[in-house]
C-alpha cells in the first residue's frame, strides 16, 4: 500500500467520539444531561484529541425511546435545552476544531409528530400516506416483527380509521412511508435545515430499513422473529432512496455520513458505501456484537468472547472494504454494554489494563473508530439486579414478554447484566463527589457505584491512567497514517488468546500485539515476524505504545502479560 495512492478523506482520518447527551453532564440539577452540560465540558472533549463528536438525538421528543422517537425534527428536546444552546454548542465545537455529527432518525417518527397525528385522523387526510397503513377489512396484516412491542408485533390496530399502522420499534414509533415523494422531500428539506446551521454530518439510524416490501408480503418463516432484520434491510428501493438523498442533499456539503447498518453484511455492504455509487460514506455492522448473543439479548452460549470468531469477523469486514468503501470500528455505543465488560474483563484487577488494550485495538485498526463516551476512563457495566432499576424499554418489554410466556425472567436479567443497553447509559463518572459530579439532583439512571474510584478527576493527571492512555493512543493514530491507511494482515488466526496483526504502508510495518486474555502468554517470535536475534532492549526502542511499563522477550518468544497491548515498529 502506498499513501500516494490512497483516496484520502478527512472522515477516514478522523476519530469519532460519541456523546449520549442524557448521560454526559447535567447543568441544571434535573438529573438529565443536557446541551449546556456538554458546553461546560467542551475543554475536556478537546483535551481528548478527537476530531468528531456524534451526538445522539437531541430533537423534540416524548422520550419513549430516549429521543429516537421524534415529534419535531427542527426543535430541540426541552429537557436538553433550546436552539440557542444548540448553536452555542456547535460554535464551541467548531472553535475547538471539532466537527459535529447529528443523529438522523427517519425510519420512524414519534406518534406525537404532527404528521402522525394528522395521518391517523382519516383515511383521506393529506398526511395519511406519510405512514404505512393496513386497512382492517383486508384481514390481519402479514407478520412483521417489532423490537420494542410488548407482543413483538409491528402492526398496531388504530381505532379511528379501523386500520393497522406499522412500527418496527415501539408503538410510539410509527414507520415513515418512504414510498411517498412528499415525505422524502420533507426529510431532505429538514436535512438542509441542519446542514445550513453548519453541522458536519449524520449518523443514520436504522437507515437500511427505510424501504418496505411492496404490499407487505408474508416473509418466509425462516425470517420470522429477530431474523426479520435481514429482510428489513433488503427493501427493494433502499439504494434508490439513498442515491436520491445523496443527489438532493448530501452531495451539496463537505460532510460525513454513516449508516447504522442493521442487516448489513460483508456480502452487501459495498452497495451502500462504494464511493462511485454516491450513497453513504460508511456503515457500522453488528456481526461481532451478535457473537454468542441470541434473541432478546440472551447469551445463547459461552462463545460471546470467542476470540477466534471475533478475529474472523473483523478480518472479513476489513477485507470486504479494502478496495471499495471504507470500514468503521467500534465496540461500545448506547445500544451495547460497556466494552470492557463485554469484550475483556471488568474484574477489578484487570479492568484498567483490559480497557487500555481495547482502546489500542480500536485505534489501530483500519477504518474510522467510533469511540463511546466513558470508555476512555474504563467505565464498566452496572449489572442491575432488579428490573425496576432499568429505564430501557427494550429490556423492560422483553422482561414482560418473557414473564407473560412463563419464561425464565431470571435468565433474562442475568444475561442483561452483560448485554443490556442501560449498562452503557449510566451517567459519566466525573469525580468522586455525590452522583459522580454528573448532577446535583437525582440522576435519571443510577450511577455506577464504582465512580468513587473510576472517574475523570482521578485519572486526569495520572500519567498511567486509562484516560491518558486513550489520549496517547489518539495522538499516535493522528501522527501515524499507517494506522489509518495501512494494509491489515492478521497473524496466527487460530490463537485463542492473542490478536496480532500488522499494518503496512509504504516502507513502514507496524506490529500490533494484544493479549485478549487474563493469563500471560508467550508467543514464538518468528511467527510474529520478529527476528530471533532481536532482544528486548532493541525491540523496546521500537515500541510505539505499551499499556504496561515493561515488555519482555526471550531468545525465542515474546511474553505478554494479561491484557497487555503493544505496538512495535518492525520496519
**Residue 353 corresponds to which cell in the numbers above?**
489494563
Closest by CA position to 497, among listed 475, 480, 512, 514 = 514
26 binds, among ligand NOJ, Ca ion, none (CB under 5 to 8 A by kind): Ca ion
Binding partner of 346, given Ca ion, ligand NOJ, none, CB within 5-8 angstroms per partner class: none
Min CB(35)–Ca ion separation in Å: 9
In angstroms, what is the C-alpha Rg of the chain?
24
Report what 28 binds from Ca ion, ligand NOJ, none; CB cut-off 5-8 Å by kind.
Ca ion
Residue 27: count other Cβ atoms within 10 Å of its Cβ: 19
Q: Which three cell numbers stand for residue 297?
A: 439479548
Q: Which is nearer to ligand NOJ, 61 or 327 (CB)?
A: 61
- What, of Ca ion, ligand NOJ, none, does residue 30 touch, CB below 5 to 8 Å by kind? Ca ion
Minimum CB separation of residue 34 from Ca ion in Å reads 4
Cell of 554: 526471550
Q: Residues 30-49: x/- map of binding to Ca ion (CB under 5 A)?
A: x-x-x---------------
With CB under 5 A, what is the number of residues at the site for Ca ion?
5
260 counts as catalytic: yes
Residue 34 binds which of ligand NOJ, Ca ion, none (CB < 5-8 A, kind-dependent): Ca ion
Residue with cell 515493561: 550
Q: From the list ligand NOJ, Ca ion, none, which binds 335 (C-beta under 5 to 8 Å, kind-based)? A: ligand NOJ
Closest residue to Ca ion, based on beta-carbon distance: 34
Sign of the torsion formed by the C-alpha atoms of 386, 393, 369 and 455: negative
User: Do the beta carbons of residue 57 and residue 63 sit within 8 Å?
Assistant: no
Between 22 and 288, whose beta carbon lies closer to Ca ion? 22
Q: What is the rounded distance in angstroms from the CA atom of residue 405 to the CA atom of residue 419?
A: 21
Cα–Cα distance for residue pair 222/233, rounded to 1 Å: 15
Q: For the chain, how are helix, strand and coil distributed in percent, rounded to 5?
A: 40, 15, 45
Q: Which CB sits closer to ligand NOJ, 200 or 205? A: 205
Rounded distance between C-alpha atoms, residue 453 and residue 463, angstroms: 16
Catalytic residue among 175, 205, 375, 422: 205
Residue number with CB closer to ligand NOJ (183 or 474):
183
Please, which residue, 395 or 435, has the CB nearer to Ca ion?
435
Written as nine digits, the cell of 274 is: 462504494
Long-range Cβ pairs for the range 305-314 (8 Å, 24+): 305/343, 305/516, 307/495, 307/496, 307/497, 307/498, 307/499, 307/516, 307/517, 308/493, 308/494, 308/495, 308/496, 310/343, 310/499, 311/490, 311/493, 311/499, 312/493, 313/287, 313/288, 314/288, 314/365
Judged by the rule CB under 6 A, the positions of this chain that interact with ligand NOJ are 65, 68, 105, 169, 205-206, 260, 334-335
| Closest to 325 measured CA to CA, from 369, 264, 281, 263 | 281
- Whether residue 506 lies in the annotated active site: no
Closer Cβ to ligand NOJ, 119 or 395, answer by number: 395
Would you call 222 helix, strand, or coil by DSSP? helix
Residue selected from 14, 21, 26, 146 as contacting Ca ion according to rule CB under 5 A = 26
* Angstrom distances, CA of residue 448 to CA of 379, 414, 435: 8, 17, 9
Shortest Å, Cβ 554 to Ca ion: 56
Closest residue (Cβ) to ligand NOJ?
A: 68
Stretch that binds Ca ion, among 26-34, 99-107, 185-193, 395-403 (CB under 5 A): 26-34
Q: Shortest distance, CB of residue 312 to ligand NOJ, whole angstroms?
A: 25
Residue 380 or 395: the one with the smaller Cβ distance to ligand NOJ is 395
Least separation in angstroms between CB 537 and ligand NOJ: 48
Catalytic residue among 26, 149, 260, 318, which? Answer: 260
| Binding stretches for Ca ion (CB under 5 A) | 26, 28, 30, 32, 34
**Which positions are annotated as active-site residues?**
205, 260
Amino acid at each position: 500500500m502506498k499513501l500516494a495512492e490512497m483516496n484520502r478523506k478527512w472522515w477516514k482520518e478522523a476519530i469519532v467520539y460519541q456523546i449520549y447527551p442524557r448521560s454526559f453532564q447535567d447543568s441544571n440539577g434535573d438529573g438529565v444531561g443536557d446541551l449546556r452540560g456538554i458546553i461546560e465540558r467542551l475543554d475536556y472533549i478537546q483535551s481528548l484529541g478527537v476530531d468528531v463528536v456524534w451526538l445522539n438525538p437531541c430533537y423534540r421528543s416524548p422520550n419513549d425511546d430516549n429521543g429516537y422517537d421524534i415529534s419535531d425534527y427542527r426543535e430541540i428536546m426541552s429537557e436538553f435545552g433550546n436552539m440557542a444552546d444548540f448553536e452555542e454548542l456547535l460554535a464551541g465545537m467548531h472553535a475547538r476544531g471539532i466537527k459535529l455529527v447529528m443523529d438522523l432518525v427517519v425510519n420512524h417518527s414519534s406518534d406525537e409528530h404532527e404528521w402522525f397525528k394528522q395521518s391517523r385522523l382519516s383515511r383521506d387526510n393529506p398526511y395519511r400516506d406519510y405512514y404505512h397503513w393496513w386497512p382492517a377489512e383486508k384481514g390481519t396484516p402479514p407478520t412483521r416483527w417489532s423490537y420494542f412491542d410488548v407482543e413483538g408485533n409491528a402492526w398496531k390496530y388504530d381505532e379511528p380509521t379501523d386500520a393497522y399502522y406499522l412500527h418496527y420499534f415501539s408503538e410510539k414509533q410509527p414507520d415513515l412511508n418512504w414510498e411517498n415523494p412528499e415525505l422524502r422531500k420533507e426529510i431532505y428539506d429538514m436535512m438542509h435545515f441542519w446542514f445550513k446551521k453548519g453541522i458536519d454530518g449524520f449518523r443514520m439510524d436504522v437507515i437500511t430499513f427505510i424501504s418496505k416490501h411492496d404490499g407487505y408480503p408474508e416473509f418466509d418463516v425462516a425470517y420470522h422473529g429477530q431474523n426479520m432484520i435481514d429482510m428489513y434491510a433488503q427493501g427493494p428501493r433502499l439504494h434508490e432512496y439513498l442515491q436520491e438523498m445523496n443527489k438532493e442533499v448530501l452531495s451539496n456539503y463537505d460532510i460525513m455520513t454513516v449508516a447504522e447498518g442493521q442487516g448489513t453484511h460483508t456480502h452487501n455492504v459495498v452497495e451502500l458505501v462504494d464511493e462511485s455509487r454516491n450513497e453513504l460514506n460508511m456503515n457500522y455492522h453488528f456481526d461481532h456484537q451478535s457473537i454468542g448473543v441470541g434473541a432478546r439479548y440472551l447469551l445463547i452460549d459461552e462463545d460471546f468472547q470467542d476470540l477466534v470468531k471475533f478475529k474472523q469477523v473483523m478480518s472479513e469486514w476489513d477485507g470486504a472494504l479494502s478496495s471499495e468503501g471504507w470500514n468503521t470500528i467500534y465496540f461500545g455505543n448506547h445500544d451495547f454494554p460497556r466494552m470492557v465488560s463485554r469484550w475483556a474483563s471488568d474484574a477489578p484487577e484487570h479492568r484498567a489494563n483490559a480497557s487500555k488494550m481495547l482502546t489500542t485495538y480500536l485505534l489501530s485498526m483500519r477504518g474510522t473508530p467510533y469511540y463511546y463516551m466513558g470508555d476512555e476512563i474504563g467505565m464498566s457495566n452496572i449489572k442491575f439486579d432488579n428490573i425496576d432499576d432499568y429505564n430501557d424499554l427494550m429490556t423492560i418489554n422483553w422482561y414482560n414478554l418473557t414473564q407473560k410466556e412463563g419464561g425464565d425472567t431470571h435468565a433474562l436479567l442475568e444475561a442483561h447484566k452483560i448485554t443490556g443497553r442501560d449498562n452503557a447509559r449510566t451517567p459519566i463518572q466525573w469525580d468522586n463527589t455525590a452522583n459522580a459530579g454528573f448532577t446535583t439532583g437525582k440522576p435519571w439512571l443510577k450511577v455506577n457505584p464504582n465512580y468513587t474510584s473510576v472517574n475523570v478527576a482521578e485519572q486526569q493527571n495520572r500519567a498511567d491512567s486509562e484516560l491518558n492512555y486513550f489520549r496517547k493512543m489518539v495522538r499516535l493514530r493522528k501522527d501515524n497514517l499507517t494506522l489509518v491507511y495501512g494494509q491489515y494482515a492478521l497473524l496466527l488466526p487460530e490463537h485463542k488468546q492473542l490478536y496480532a496483526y500488522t499494518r503496512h504502508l509504504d516502507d513502514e510495518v507496524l506490529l500490533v500485539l494484544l493479549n485478549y486474555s487474563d493469563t500471560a502468554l508467550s508467543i514464538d517470535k518468528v511467527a510474529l515476524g520478529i527476528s530471533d536475534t532481536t532482544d528486548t532492549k532493541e525491540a523496546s526502542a521500537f515500541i510505539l505504545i505499551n499499556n504496561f511499563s515493561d515488555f519482555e522477550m526471550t531468545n525465542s518468544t515474546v511474553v505478554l502479560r494479561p491484557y497487555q497491548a503493544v505496538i512495535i515498529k518492525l520496519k
